[in-house]
Amino acid sequence: MSRETVGLNAHHAALARAERFVELAVREGKHDPLRPQIHFTAPAYWINDPNGLIHFRDEYHLFYQFYPYGNRWGSMHWGHAKSKDMVHWEHLPIALAPSEEYDLHERGGCFSGSAVDDNGVLSLLYTGTVIRDGVLCQTQCLATSRDGITFDKYAGNPVIAAPPEDGSADFRDPKVWKHEGIWYMVLGSGKDGIGKALLYRSPDLRKWDYAGVLAESDGTLGYMWECPDFFPVGEKYVLMFSPMGMGEHKTVYLVGEMDYATGKFAWDKMGDTDIGYDYYAPQSFLDASGRRIIIAWLNAWDWMPWFKDFSPPAVTEWCGSMSIPRVVELDARGYLSFKPIEEMRTLRKHHYQSEPFHVKPGEPKALTGIAETPLEIAISFRLRDTLATGFGLALRGSEDGARQTLIEYDPVSRELRFDRSRSDGWSEGVRSVRLTHADDEQLTLHIFIDTSNIELLTDNYTTAMTFNVYPDPTDRSMYVYASGDSIVVDSLDIWQLTREVSGGI
């Protein structure tokens, strides 16, 4: 602890209290068969956004929005875990707890932010919440650590006390990076119905100067941009964010050019980072070999008329998980692709591989052999020479067929549909997306099926769809079906994956 840091007793007491609560939950909690196995979850209770993703001293660190007192959102802490491979995670003590006037508010706490390595000091920038003139206001704060485990809050907090004229009380989620010796921070905000990304500069992470609006909505991109992230990919820059008020688009990206002299980002391409219902607030970082990787929270805030709660009432000991890490690259057409990290292959246990086969209308082909979750499936359907009006996969089906999740493709309209309306008696919604980059010869689906979620990647990895589903653990039937005409499956690989990558209840 140095003279630079404060609130130590209050902060450390708040951390110790939260730790005790979580330990008790882990000790007394019973194993929940719906708890994800190949996706990161907290030791117990609620998580939302990934925060502070960083490769620091040969290890990956994942911090996350954490409520250690129950399976719902509450005053935010930063949970913490580390990993050698981004696949297997070891839980660490909670890193940040609300304790100071600037981050103690019960509707706030330590909100989302990011981590940087400042000459060997692991530095976290996060959003705190204060009441000013009766209004809830957000501020930006700093906490540092020399060992990468114990964090102290900076005595000069908040490092940014109030939003600029261009912003509003919604002013949060700092993402920080260094460019040519200067620290930059992008913050999410919105004003008069226009979502914005605001830019700041600093020589030392402590003194910040406002540098203007990096980019803003043209009126169609939502009223508030949560969790903005800004990073180079190839020759281009990418601004990724989770817009509020943009309907079914929960996390989008813009590709364009950055002008550091003016602080302006000019974009000309836009896409969905993931078009499923349960993928939000992705954050990026660079791994040891220079890959740009994103991890997201597998849920999203209420936005659908049929929204009920974050998980079915049967789920009590945990709520929320993190996505599989995805590598972000620019494809030949200037859009982004999202590939699961290769390290995921280390989880493969049993392998089932099929010769090519035909599936006729009315004669679905059951996939037997390996069916226990978690599973990884790679399947390629031949698009040439078929007059099928639809074909697809039924997953996580019950014996009687009452419950199942459908992934169906219409080769004429090129629409891919994810239908979870019969998944579990609780989840709802059918999501369709038109594949634009699709290969004309084949449709390839790469799917990760966990106990209570499905990540689907397709269209040369330019389309991702992620959904939570909560079928009974015994719902294991899977089959391929076709309508209108038969379809050829050119290749099918199924791997059963090893379970338990992050422990917990």
The set of catalytic residues is 49
The pair of structure tokens assigned to 179 is 């460019």
Q: Which is nearer to ligand FRU, 279 or 495 (CB)?
A: 279
CA angle (254 as vertex; 249, 255 as ends), nearest 5: 150
Q: Which is nearer to ligand FRU, 29 or 320 (CB)?
A: 320
Beta partners for residue 239, in sequence order: 230, 254
Q: Would you count residue 433 as binding ligand FRU (CB under 6 A)? A: no
Q: How far is the CB of 453 from ligand FRU (least distance, A)?
A: 17
Question: CA 48 → CA 27, 70, 72, 73, 76, distances in Å?
Answer: 23, 13, 10, 8, 9
Compute the least distance from the CB of residue 95 to ligand FRU, in Å: 15
Q: Which residue, 327, 336, 325, 326, is CA-closest to 236?
A: 336
Q: Least distance from C-beta 364 to ligand FRU, angstroms?
A: 39
Residue among 299 and 462 whose Cβ is closer to ligand FRU: 299
The CA distances from residue 95 to 153, 322, 413, 436, 455, in Å, are 10, 18, 49, 43, 29
Q: Which of 172, 175, 236, 249 binds ligand FRU (CB under 6 A)?
A: 172
Q: Which of 127, 321, 458, 496 contacts ligand FRU by CB under 6 A? A: 127
CB of 293 to ligand FRU, least distance (A): 19
Among 173, 216, 376, 475, binds ligand FRU (CB under 6 A): 173
The residue among 5 and 127 lying less far from ligand FRU, judged by its C-beta, is 127
- 51 Cβ partners below 8 Å, 6+ apart? 63, 64, 65, 78, 112, 113, 114, 115, 124, 126, 283
Instruction: In angstroms, give the least distance from the CB of 99 to ligand FRU.
Output: 17
Q: Of 227 and 359, which CB lies nearer to ligand FRU in the complex structure?
A: 227
In the complex, least distance from residue 46 CB atom to ligand FRU, rounded to whole angstroms:
10
Q: 379-413 as b/e, with b when 16 or more CB fall inside 10 Å?
A: bbbbbeebebebbbbbbbbbeeeebbbbbbbbbee
Q: In sequence order, what are the beta bridge partners of 267?
A: 256
Could you give the string, one character per residue 194-233, with x where binding to ligand FRU holds by CB under 6 A and - elsewhere? Answer: --------------------------------xx------
Pairwise CA distance, residues 65 & 276, whole Å: 21
Q: Which of 147, 143, 42, 114 is nearest to 286 (CA)?
A: 114
Q: How far is the CB of 492 from ligand FRU (least distance, A)?
A: 37
Residue 355 near residue 457, CB atoms below 8 Å? no
Least separation, in Å, of the C-beta of 227 and ligand FRU?
Answer: 5
Whether the Cβ atoms of residue 157 and residue 100 lie closer than 8 Å to each other: yes
Shortest distance (Å) from residue 170 CB to ligand FRU: 8
Name which of 76 and 478 has its Cβ closer to ligand FRU: 76
Whether 422 contacts 397, CB under 8 Å:
no
Q: What is the rounded CA–CA span in Å between residue 142 and residue 144?
A: 7
Q: Residue holding tokens 């900076």?
A: 154
Short-list 220, 217, 218, 265, CA closest to 238: 265
Binding to ligand FRU by CB under 6 A, coded x per residue (else -) over 75-114, reads -x----------------------------------xx--
Residues 24-63 that bind ligand FRU (CB under 6 A): 48-49
Structure tokens at 274: 């993931």
Nearer to ligand FRU, 188 or 397 (CB): 188
How many C-alpha atoms does 420 have within 13 Å on its Cβ side? 21
Size of the site for ligand FRU (CB under 6 A): 13
Judged by beta carbon, residue 195 or residue 411, the one nearer ligand FRU is 195
Minimal distance, residue 190 CB to ligand FRU, in Å: 11
C-beta closer to ligand FRU: residue 227 or 487: 227
- Residues 372, 496 contacting (CB under 8 angstroms): yes
Pick between residue 72 and residue 351 the one whose CB is nearest to ligand FRU: 72
- 8 A C-beta contact, residue 492 and residue 382: no
Give CA–CA dist 162/139, Å, rounded.
6
Using the rule CB under 6 A, which residue among 65, 283, 451, 468 binds ligand FRU? 65
> Distance of CA 478 to CAs 362, 420, 449, 475, Å?
15, 14, 12, 9
SS3 string of 32-82? Answer: CCCCCCCCCCCCCEEEEEEEEEEEECCEEEEEEEEECCCCCCCCEEEEEEE
Interacting positions 258-287 with ligand FRU (CB under 6 A): 280-281
Site residues (CB under 6 A) for ligand FRU? 48-49, 65, 76, 111-112, 127, 172-173, 226-227, 280-281
